Amino acid sequence: MKPKFLYSFLLFLSVKFCPAQPYYFKHYQVENGLSNNTVYCSAQDKQGFLWFGTKDGLNRFDGYTFKTFRHDGGNPKSIGNNFIQTLYTDWQGVLWVGTAAGIYHYNAQDESFIPIKTASAVEVRCIIEDSFDNCWFVGNNTVFSYQKSSQKLINYKPYQHFDATSITVTDNGEIWVSSTAGTLEKLNPATKTFTHFDVFAHSKKVASNYIEKIFTAGDHKIFVGTSTQGFKIFDAKNSTYQDVLTYNKNKTEIFVRDFLKYTDHEYWIATESGIFIYDTEKGTFLNLNKQYNDPYSLSDNAIYTLFKDSEDGIWAGTYFGGLNYYPKQYSTFNKFYPRTDKNALIGNVVREICKDQYGNLWVGTNGGGLALYNRDKDDFISYGLSSKKDEALSDRAITAIYEDRQKNFWIGTFSKLNLLNRNTKKVKQYAAGPNGLSNNTISSVYEDRRGNLWIGT
């Protein structure tokens, strides 16, 4: 059946991209215990453990350390293959693992992996369950249904050259399967027949109609992630589809890998161009991607999996950059760190912060000198780094900052005391000597009520 095309203004030219707001990610990679930095899939079991599938082993994370499960030829209870392609936790909290050579469910009591026997080794791409306690999975050009109670395996194949990529169950129990040819197939399990829908029929012709992922979004809507035409929405009730997000800002094609429902009106979309956050009420998108000068941005733009844990934290698995964790935001602190642009903070270690009489913040770093924070522009102005001798601080490692009643600043360092005139930016240095300081390493500065200056060394 060819779907009717629902004409929509949700095309590239009308897509609204929101301005960025702070999203800070924590990274977990091989050096943190992950078995491989290519993470394809993620899930959480009923014990609360987080599971991550990579191209070299299955990882279990307890919040502190990773434990890796790999195939062991001498252990029949080990997992049968190290290439983990998909994970799913059923309603009972049991973990199902799809690999490049078969499907397994995990027994937490003895940490064993129990295989589901198929006629041949199946490259499992996606796992889901229905309301009748059946486990569905796709692989090797076939759709499989596994009845847990009877341990009976049934296979379905729409047509000879059908190649399934993903499977989902809608809220009303319908089974939908996607293909490499750009079709959605609705399965009737009773008759083992499929109804065919083409979600590329009225779109711009492209080299590949590959569908990577389908996802049930409620209200008869199925989110469709493609390799060349980004994100589509298919209405299963009316047999219509919309091209919602097709291109990046630079007009390159978007490759969608995964979907995550975060709130009723917010969905996160994993792509090869980072993460898109979709606000269904406003019809807007926010694109998060790797910023090479930002240690808190995504570690990689190729996002393969998204998962929300029991504490509402979001985990993003990437192809090159391991895991990214975004915790639930109860309150947000903006972060400032060294960048390559001119008005950024210099130095990673902040030793001193002083609020002046105008409410401005002066920041002293260990190696980056002194900087004034500009609230209006949200950037920094550096002081004392001039090549001119009378405008240079004696040391870039700041140990003390104090504003006196003349509104000038006394700057302590590991090498002399400095007096900075805020208006002229001129610096006068005071060194240890018979009639001077007892030591050049300054630890504190204070002015008493009589205007006397006390120096701690």
Q: What is the full per-residue pLDDT of the chain (457 aa) written as tens digits?
A: 444 444 333 333 345 555 555 799 999 999 999 999 999 999 999 999 999 999 999 999 999 999 999 999 999 999 999 999 999 999 999 999 999 999 999 999 999 999 999 878 899 999 999 999 999 999 988 999 999 999 999 999 877 778 999 999 999 999 999 999 999 999 999 999 999 999 999 999 999 999 999 999 999 999 999 999 999 999 999 999 999 999 999 999 999 999 999 999 999 999 999 999 999 999 999 999 999 888 889 999 999 999 999 999 999 999 999 999 999 875 567 777 777 666 777 777 888 888 888 888 888 888 888 888 888 778 887 888 888 888 889 888 899 999 999 899 999 999 999 999 988 989 999 999 988 889 999 999 998 998 888 999 9
Q: Which of 4, 453, 443, 426 is nearest to 198 (CA)?
A: 4
Strand order, beta sheet including 314-318:
26-28, 323-326, 314-318, 303-308
**Hey, do 4-326 and 350-456 end up sharing a CATH topology, with the first three levels equal?**
yes
What integer pLDDT is reported at residue 13 of this predicted model? 36
Q: What is the pTM of this model?
A: 0.81
What integer pLDDT is reported at residue 379 of this predicted model? 82
Cβ 225 vs Cβ 234: under 8 Å? no
SS3 30: helix
What integer pLDDT is reported at residue 103 of this predicted model? 97
From the options 2.130.10.10, 2.60.120.10, 2.40.340.10, 2.60.40.1930, give the CATH code of 4-326.
2.130.10.10
How far from the centroid of its chain's Cα atoms is residue 233's Cα?
23
Place of tokens 């994100």: 231
What φ, ψ does residue 13 adopt, rounded to 5°?
-65, -20
Which sign, positive or negative, has the C-alpha torsion 8, 13, 17, 19? negative
The contacts found for 296-303 with CB under 8 angstroms, 24 or more apart, are 296/24, 296/25, 296/335, 296/337, 297/23, 297/25, 298/25, 298/274, 298/324, 299/25, 299/27, 299/29, 299/324, 301/272, 301/273, 301/274, 302/272, 303/257, 303/258, 303/270, 303/271, 303/272, 303/274, 303/275
**What residue ranges in 340-395 does DSSP mark as E strands?**
350-355, 361-365, 370-374, 379-383
What are the domain boundaries of the chain? 4-326, 350-456
Cβ 320 vs Cβ 290: under 8 Å? no
Place of tokens 């870039």: 396
Cβ 413 vs Cβ 397: under 8 Å? yes
Which tokens is 436 given?
Answer: 């001077």
> Strand 240-245 relative to strand 361-365: parallel, antiparallel, unpaired?
unpaired
Q: Which of 99, 101, 175 is nearest to 131 (CA)?
A: 175
Place of tokens 């799809």: 98
Q: How many CB atoms lie within 10 A of CB 431?
A: 12
Q: How many CB atoms lie within 10 A of CB 317?
A: 29
Cβ 256 vs Cβ 213: under 8 Å? yes
Task: Give dist(CA 352, CA 347) in Å, integer.
Answer: 12
DSSP tag of 120: S
| Domain spanning 350-456, CATH architecture | 7 Propeller (2.130)
Question: What letters, b where the CB count within 10 A reaches 16 and e where it falls short, cover 20-50?
Answer: eeebbbebbbeeeebbbbbbbbbbbbeeebb
What integer pLDDT is reported at residue 58 of this predicted model? 99
Which tokens is 208 given?
Answer: 């590949």
What integer pLDDT is reported at residue 12 of this predicted model? 37
What integer pLDDT is reported at residue 4 of this predicted model? 42
Q: Which of 152, 165, 45, 29 is nearest to 105 (CA)?
A: 45
CA angle 221, 226, 232 (to 5 degrees): 30
What integer pLDDT is reported at residue 369 of this predicted model? 84
Cβ 425 vs Cβ 381: under 8 Å? no
DSSP 229-272: S-EEEEETTTTEEEEEE-B-TTSPBP-EEEEEEEETTEEEEEET
Largest CA distance in the chain: 101
